[in-house]
Structure 1
Amino acid sequence: MITAIESSPRKGGNSHTMLQAVIAGAREAGASAHEVHLRDYKYEPCVGCEKCRKDKICTRFQDGMTLLYPHLQESKGLVLISPVHNYNVSAWMKSFIDRLYCFYDFENTRPRAWSSRLAGQGRKAVIGAIAEQSEEKDMGFTMDAMRLPLEALGYEIVAELPVLHLFDRGIIAKHQDLIDKATHAGGLLAKAL
């Protein structure tokens, strides 16, 4: 099972279209996928209350993340796709990633040792980002903002899809080479699982 998530405010936009191509590739390779558009969920950002250290899941809020946690726990595959907003992931993606903090266990050492309860389970991921700008430097921290937290949680990144110079809603569909790369990435993810 794959949970495939995009964080654009635009329905039918480039992130949405890329996500569907990744899902199509995964399904062609025999995987099942649950499609998530973060704009359809209402959830709060992490406030650092630390209740999750004891409860092992976020109990501070009963919100959209409460609905997504079971999918994330059950899925060995994960897809994250975000538009580039101010050199980084969208605010929805940042809040989503921050709310994954509840999957860490910490020890009372200095410096504090930690581990992820999602690690060691063969989890794999695909990440992608779409920028309007044409130079890679203008993508800023976007790919790192997804890659580094996922690797810390125990995911192996099997494909990365950085895309530049696209803005108009859904225009990625006119770039067959990019759709093919996204479809291929979905197939790689399914086969890696």
Structure 2
Amino acid sequence: MSAYTKPIIRFGLVTPAIFNCVLLAGVAAGTAKLTSVRAEKELRYDEETKRIAGMKVLEARIAPRRKAFEDQKKMLGADPGQLYTKILDTALPRYKDIELERSSLIFPQDRGKVAKSVKCDVIRVKASYQGGIGPMQESLLQVESLMPQAMLEELKITRKSDLLMKRPDYLVIDTTHACWKAGEARP
């Protein structure tokens, strides 16, 4: 080897080869990093598009029911005593007097068993009915499905017979509901 070949090999071949290998390793590392960042962003994008598609499906399912939700909000904000009476007045005319008849409807002033532990305004409704158990169950179902804030506090069923009224056997049903007004808290 001559005096010229050693520096030529060292600086002409080895140094550029090492530089090119380092450069190639840097490019490979950068490409791997960019590929992982791209894959992560594509995954996030796919998740976001699926989430948006799911939200559109939910919105399409909920949109027709929005009116009913607004009606429920109004119902929860209404006076429970008047609402209870209104529901019963629409449910009871479907039955004949012998099937189901409301004999009394009072609003006691005491808080009752359930209302003592509740921190909002509660109205209690005591109602008495005469008739059969089937129509009574249907009317209670009507009240409790249209009034989510009504809770049956007490139910008492007794059997009576009244030969003067030409009712040999009928039931006397006493119910007590605790109804609260949504959104009002007691101090």
The TM-score with structure 2 as length reference comes to 0.24
The TM-score with structure 1 as length reference comes to 0.24
Give the structure, 1 or 2, with the largest relative contact order (CA under 8 Å, sep 6 or more): 1
Structure ranking higher in helix proportion: 2
